[in-house]
Amino acid sequence: MKRLIVFITVCLSLLFVSCNSRVALDFNQKLVSLQKEVITKAESMNGVSRDSVEKWALFNNYLKQRISDMKALKAPEGGDDFKEAMLNDIYGLADAIELKAKIYQNQNNEDGGISLAQQFDSLKTVLKKLDQRVIMEQRKFAKANNFRLEK
């Protein structure tokens, strides 16, 4: 009888752990999917000058919606830091796209273009740190919730 109780307890524990892992994995996949979607859209904005007001307005609305979608996701236990890191990464990407648009707009203005290019170089360093934080938080989240990350 004791063995049966221990066996049932172990089975129920595994069931609860696997359910939590599944919720965590789904959360991870939703965040990564939104991030990939934003990156793809942002890459399509390369070369679009700031003068193209309509395209930038559409992109900004799109970006606001994706950020809103990310914020709306309910983080499972231990997922808040990962979610925050991902949001900060998206905000950084938005800043980079905006700065790049200004660079395109000021290509003929040497002084403004150089200053903006220097700002962009500094921003790239910040973006690398944001990306590293996303990776670190994602790994911690995956480890805490017993799922493997794909490369």
SS3 111: helix
Give the residue extent of every domain in the chain.
Answer: 2-144
pTM value?
A: 0.76
Contact 29, 37 (CB under 8 A): no
The whole-angstrom separation of Cα 105 and Cα 12 is 61
Residues 53, 127, 72, 142: is their CA dihedral positive or negative?
positive
- Alpha carbon 11 to chain centroid, angstroms: 35
**pLDDT tens per residue, the chain (151 residues)?**
444 343 333 333 333 344 567 888 899 999 999 988 988 888 887 766 666 767 877 888 898 899 999 999 999 988 999 999 999 999 988 888 777 777 766 666 665 556 777 887 888 898 899 999 999 999 999 899 988 877 6
Contact 103, 116 (CB under 8 A): yes
Q: Residue 132 corresponds to which tokens in the numbers above?
A: 């590293």
Q: Residue 65 corresponds to which tokens in the numbers above?
A: 């919606």
Contact 35, 86 (CB under 8 A): yes
Residue in 63, 50, 117 with CA at minimum distance from that of residue 90? 63
